[in-house]
Chains A and B, each alone.
Chain A
């Protein structure tokens, strides 16, 4: 019982690293543009599919496919931004509907290109076991991308707080007009944040492809997961995303171990609703978003 619980928590933490990768891009774009990109999960999935094609047609490993995925996903991310920037009225709600529509387009595009079949990598090396201290099991992919996730979260945090560009991104998110007066071009920083979101989505996609199976409807599920984590974190909190992601990961893993596999998603959603209703500013966030 105890060992099962320990294993569940370990798996949950590792899964949380991957979830953080999925959610960070969404949180970042929300932080800069106050826009929730409902096509974000589809970007993650797109990266995975590009890696799949690279593996099949170019016979390269998913890791080697990262640059290719990055180019494709970044292009699509910028396209999403360009379309979003054409919204003039009711920006909050219209941008939701627009990105929702783009999500549908991307899902069906992937369905048309890669069919509804379930795909997974042939590089089985990633799925082989990695044992920690004789008792805790996981796959290599999980461990690798957990570490990648930690590095990227730290990097993103460092970038946002220390670098000029990152500070500009934060300045734009808190006050667009003031940022402009300080010589920051909001458009540049917004494109930048979409590009960084694309980068994060790419790594999430490769983590997904090396560790799990993919099919077209998955993108939508990933968007929901990313949003749930972002809310748990408190919208706009980067370290909160990592903690929120791990919380979801652990909750799901414990549910799988002790209740039932099919209730995995339910546990996350119930946790999400509880937080939303009891502590709408998020678990790790400050301030309020009451209307």
Chain B
């Protein structure tokens, strides 16, 4: 516990202090880190559903896109303040997740694929509902993040603090749930569902809660991104990238730990951006796919546990 606290504090100091100090003046680097954190937020949400809910989702792009559209449209058409709209974006994604809830009764792979098919619906809807979304033409000049207390959050460095806070809050929520009774029950459900239900655990309801929360976080991240980029169209908002990169990041970093998806996202995104893309301008995702496959075969629990094991730590999921 002591050690954990020290690591957490060091981590916060590093990301709130040292990173902006080092890269704050290089727009290109800091905007790449913002993009990496966007992936990290989605990866954390994905891992929360995967580790605690026991469900693999191939459809997080849907939640990301719904959050983005809801928030963008509320600010543009209804004049909502940006931060309120971002929260509403998360709520919108949660509502979108309710429609897929009956699929929770299905076991692992069926859920994964039901979500995959489900996600396809939203891109089509966003394209077709031109009256609301302006269709394939997209939304331009979405309001940027506001200036608060003289600090312009719309700049790259301002956005960096916002997304960092969102991601850390998501990680804190994940960590808190994992160490709560709900987290215990959810973890136990993976291997021993009957034995868990016998004790009174409403397994489907808990899984549903994780789905709603995961969608909420993803929606918030998507909404943030819409205001950061200031542009949306259906192909971008619901792009498969928002599904692929978080999965690769979470698997790579280790989706059974809280910090794994975060570390995985930074590593994978920055490698992709600065190394893979320059090696292979088109088709650089081939490396991501290969990395995903390799991780699953060699160390399905990801890099973080692998390193942890190397340091002689004991692997305990819930302690």
Contacts and interface: CB of A to CB of B under 8 A. Distances in A.
Note whether A and B form a binding pair.
yes
Nearest to A220: B240
Nearest to B189: A291
Contact of A103 (B128, B248, B251, B289): B289
Contact of A83 (B120, B193, B282, B297): B297
Contacts of A157: none
Contacts of B31: none
A289 B293 contact: no
A interface SS class: helix
Contacts of A144: none
A90 interface: yes
A154 interface: no
A290 interface: yes
A202 B168 CA distance: 48
A116 B282 contact: yes
B290 A105 contact: yes
Contact of B105 (A97, A107, A228, A291): A291
Q: How large, as a class, is the contact surface on chain A?
A: 35 or more
A111 B282 contact: yes
B283 A276 contact: no
Query: Which of B112, B117, B291: most chain A Cβ within 10 A?
Result: B117
A57 B179 CA distance: 61
A231 interface: yes
Contacts of B120: 224, 265, 269
Nearest to A115: B282
Given A87-B297, A93-B109, A112-B283, 15 more contacts: A36-B109, A100-B58, A101-B288, A103-B289, A104-B288, A104-B292, A111-B283, A227-B116, A265-B124, A269-B118, A269-B120, A273-B114, A280-B106, A290-B106, A290-B107
A104 B248 CA distance: 11
A130 interface: no
Contacts of A71: none
Q: How large, as a class, is the contact surface on chain B?
A: 35 or more
A94 B109 CA distance: 10
Contact of A90 (B107, B112, B300): B300
25 contacts: A93-B108, A94-B296, A96-B108, A96-B113, A98-B293, A98-B297, A100-B247, A104-B286, A105-B289, A105-B293, A108-B286, A111-B282, A112-B280, A112-B286, A220-B240, A227-B116, A262-B124, A265-B124, A266-B121, A273-B118, A276-B103, A276-B110, A277-B103, A280-B106, A291-B193
A89 interface: yes
Given A98-B293, A273-B114, A109 B193 contact: no
B32 interface: no
A18 interface: no
B112 A93 contact: yes
B127 interface: yes
